[in-house]
Structure formats: C-alpha cells, structure tokens
Amino acid sequence: MPHIDIRMYEGRTREQKEEIVSVFTRELSRIIEREERFITVEFQEIPLDENAPANLLKAGSGGNGYES
C-alpha cells in the first residue's frame, strides 16, 4: 500500500489539499502502475513560525507573533 506523507506549514485551504491529493495520487499511480484506490495520503501540518512563507504569514492564524 503506497503511502504519501506530506509535511507542510498550516494554512492551506481544503481545496488546495484536495488538489494535492488528486495530483500526487494520480501521478504516483501512473508511475508505479498501481491503482489509485490503494494509495493513501496524510498531511502533517506544522505550526507557522518565522521560517514560514510570507503568503502564509500574512494570512496567518492571528496573534501568532509572526505576521508581517
């Protein structure tokens, strides 16, 4: 059972995550010749910190101390 573990900063939308799952699953399925239904994807969201991308810091979860 292929499994994709994605670690990224929090703040992505549900739509963005759904697109990531769709694209990664489709492409892994194509490359390894395994049906998509056997592929799982898991997100591990990391809290925003001073190293997070600017676009996430601006949209940030208010009061985190890292907003520009």
Q: Which CATH number fits the domain 3-59, given the four candidates 3.30.429.10, 3.20.20.20, 3.40.30.10, 3.40.50.1820?
A: 3.30.429.10
In degrees rounded to 5, what are phi and psi of residue 39? -100, 130
Determine which helix (DSSP H) or strand (DSSP E) holds 42, and give its type and residue range. Answer: strand 40-46
pLDDT at residue number 20: 98
List the pLDDT tens digit at each of the 68 positions of the chain: 999 999 999 999 999 999 999 999 999 999 999 999 999 999 999 999 998 988 888 875 554 444 44
Structure tokens at 55: 């676009």
Domain boundaries, the chain: 3-59
Residue 58 has a pLDDT of 81
20, β-bridge pairs: none
pTM score, two decimals?
Answer: 0.77
